[in-house]
Chains A and B, each alone.
Chain A
Amino acid sequence: MLDLLFDTSFAASVPRFVTPILLAALGGALCERAGVFNIALEGFLLAGAFAAVLGSYFTGSATAGALAAMVGGIAMGLVFAEFNLRRGGDSIVVSIAINLLAAGLTTYLLRAVFDVAGAFSDPAIVGFKGINIPVIGSIPWIGHVLSGQSILFYIAVAVVPLMHLFLARHRLGLRMRAAGENPQALAAGGVNPKRVQLWALVGCGALCGLGGAQLSIANVNLFVENMSAGRGWIAVVAVLLTRGRPWPLFAIALIFGVVDSLSFRVQGLGMPQQFTDVMPYLATLIVLTALSWWRKRNPA
């Protein structure tokens, strides 16, 4: 049974599950480092997934879908910014509201625009196909993982070192870290922390939007109500555990992605539906517990 689980097709499926979690987590990391307590990643992802389908359906282009997804995510980011940064609403309250807003709005628009309930699938939705990388694709086992994935996967992986570099050496990245650590000091230096945090939210929206696009126009070619299915919360946990540091985030997202794809795989083995549905959440809880326990024992 073990080899059934770990054959090459399993390996190839892992990146499909890692991508949305990784992208959402990277977006969350930006907010975390900039001092914005954003737990609305679930809503951001969902908005992105729906926008991707909208964009792809009406233009026949997957790229347009991805761009639309980014717009959708950024829109949510701007809503967050308006009510949290500009109007001073508590970030937890705003996050809860945005999660509900995204769930309600996407389901509503599903009915209003496409006149369906539950799920929308249509040949007019163009998705991302896998990209075959010539030499790498022929390496046994790992070749299946690295080659043939959607462009969004490669973008996600590329963002990891890019974000690290951005935070370490870019002016805006530096200011974001300052806003996250000591916004008062940043203000005393003449830079408005809220302006910096606004950019963090925009970046977060764009990244989560792309994550949503992976869900709806790369992994499959349809939109299902509440498609994000908890991945946004898993991303929140990942950000929390790694305090928004890109490389550890990558590692954690990989772990969660593996578990997520495992639960999907296990479905075909006759386990009750509920068990496979709950696996990602249980795994997240276990990893969170284990790491928190370890951290309590070994304060850095």
Chain B
Amino acid sequence: MRVSLSGIVVRFGALTAVNDVSLAIEPGEIHAVVGENGAGKSTLMNVLFGLVKPQAGTIGIDGRPRVWNSASDAISAGLGMVHQHFMLQEQMTVLENIVLCAEPVGPLGFVDFAAARRRLAESANLHGITVALDREVGRLSVGERQVVEILKMLYREAQVLILDEPTSVLTPQEKDRLFEILRSFRAAGRAIVLITHKLDEVMEIADRVSVMRGGRLVTSAPLAETSKEEIARGIIGGELPPLRQRSARTPGEAVLAVEGLGIGRRGRSVGPLSFSVRAGEIVGIAGVSGNGQAELVQALAGLKPASAGRIVLCGRDITGLSVAERRRIGMSYIPEDRQRMGLALAATVSENANAGRDDRGGFAKGPFLRRGAMAEFARDIIRRFDIRVAGPSALASTMSGGNKQKLVVGREITRATPLIIAENPTWGVDIGAIDFIHGELMRMRDAGHAVLLVSTELDEVMALSDRILVMYEGRFAGEVPGSEATRERLGNLMTSHLGQGSAVAA
């Protein structure tokens, strides 16, 4: 089945997300669509899959133009998509998730689960996939959930499989197994579209590469006719920024000391964890999302109670203290979820910027607000962190993702506390802002602050950290000095429990 996209244009208000893009997808081929965050690749594929209606352009299947009114049209035409955020029902079983929306029914509308099982068994065996059909999806690991998503596509006999950033949640070993499955699909004549920003993986598995930047298609060529550097240039539109150099520093006293910390979690508890972060160093916690990092950060910030152990900050035991008290003693926190936790989107930039302040005198007189002082403070942050926004009284929701993140980072870093916790600080942010934020974190480290970086982006952790701790299944699998960190070494630590984990069999 050949798929072609011609002249696709997608606009969201004033923003043109996809600008006149034409692409061909051939059967028996793995086609990588690459670009940085915000380049328009996901939007383009959402058009192909029927989730977004384009303002212009056509979709062609085997030469005939088709129009999708919804995803179900695309699905019946033989397209399947695995989204970046899985589209699964956690409280339903694997089997229920797979058949949902394509249920085999008897006369009264009752689902024939037995028939579904039989059909699945065939496809799964063909490609070497095994999975327990009656387990609740909520209890599966991330890698296993991805298998469920892939089975969904198989069940619907999709001929064109679109995967959006599939490896961002996988350990290196899980990624290898996924690629084997993809090769098996290719051999069976299916077409695969891989949306990714990871160049190494593109070089490893793709047959054809299309590069998008700023909504436009920059190049589209077979892999054999291009090179990694050329692709990278296409993505950035220039040269890569020079690799960040870490200046040698001797760290000072421990600012944060964690001893035997345990946190309760449904099913799999986290801990005991013990580590410290010293003044003038960046400690990175690496690991695939879902291994307890979120719980660790929440316990440190005071948003979740610890079930065991101690947390010591600046020499004081803060284990039982509230969020406000911890912040006052010397902690700032850049949360992963900037939309819900980092900002109040419906409030103004000034209100957001002043929200975390301890120095009441700076923005209030008695019980009353000093709006002028608040606006000045906000303007200062806007200036220092190069935030593109109309002004302090603009609503936070009007900013782009990168600028929102810069506001959160700016607000927290300005407090200049001894400890800064940064959780996936550059998720979903454009390259310019990523570079800026990394620079700020380094600046704080150089100035003698302690920075705890928790990130699922291996590259980020490796680039910034003086020491790297790898988290797996709620415990630390190992510690690696920043200078000696390689992807293989960290990847091995990420799956250090032999025999457990992913149910994907080779």
Contacts and interface: CB of A to CB of B under 8 A. Distances in A.
Q: Are any A and B Cβ atoms less than 8 Å apart in their complex? A: yes
A196 to B, nearest CB: 11
B55 interface: no
Contact of B96 (A174, A184, A188, A192): A174
Contacts of B51: 188
Nearest to B76: A190
A191 B86 CA distance: 16
A234 B86 CA distance: 37
Interface string B98-123: 01111101001111010000000000
B154 to A, nearest CB: 14
Given A186-B100, A187-B71, A190-B70, A170 B87 contact: no
Given A171-B110, A190-B75, A181 B90 contact: yes
Interface string A239-258: 00000000000000000000
A105 interface: no
Interface in A151-179: 169-172, 174-175, 177-178
B189 to A, nearest CB: 24
Contact of B71 (A170, A177, A182, A189): A189
A278 interface: no
Contact of B91 (A181, A187, A190): A181
Contacts of B75: 189-190
B89 interface: yes
B290 to A, nearest CB: 17
A93 interface: no
B389 interface: no
Given A171-B103, A178-B92, A185 B109 contact: no
A175 to B, nearest CB: 7
Nearest to B50: A190
B110 A190 contact: no
A174 B112 CA distance: 12
> How large, as a class, is the contact surface on chain A?
10 to 19
A188 to B, nearest CB: 4
B92 A189 contact: no
B86 to A, nearest CB: 8
Given A186-B100, A188-B71, A189-B100, A177 B89 contact: yes
Main secondary structure, interface of A, reads helix
A190 B72 contact: yes
A132 B76 CA distance: 54
Contacts of A191: 72, 100-101
Interface in A178-227: 178, 181-182, 184-192
B90 A190 contact: no
B3 interface: no
Contacts of A169: 110-111, 113
Nearest to B70: A190
Nearest to B74: A190
Interface string A20-35: 0000000000000000
Nearest to A187: B71
B88 interface: yes
B81 interface: yes
21 contacts: A169-B111, A171-B103, A171-B105, A174-B96, A175-B100, A177-B91, A181-B89, A181-B91, A181-B92, A182-B89, A185-B88, A187-B71, A188-B51, A188-B81, A189-B87, A189-B101, A190-B70, A190-B72, A190-B73, A190-B74, A191-B100
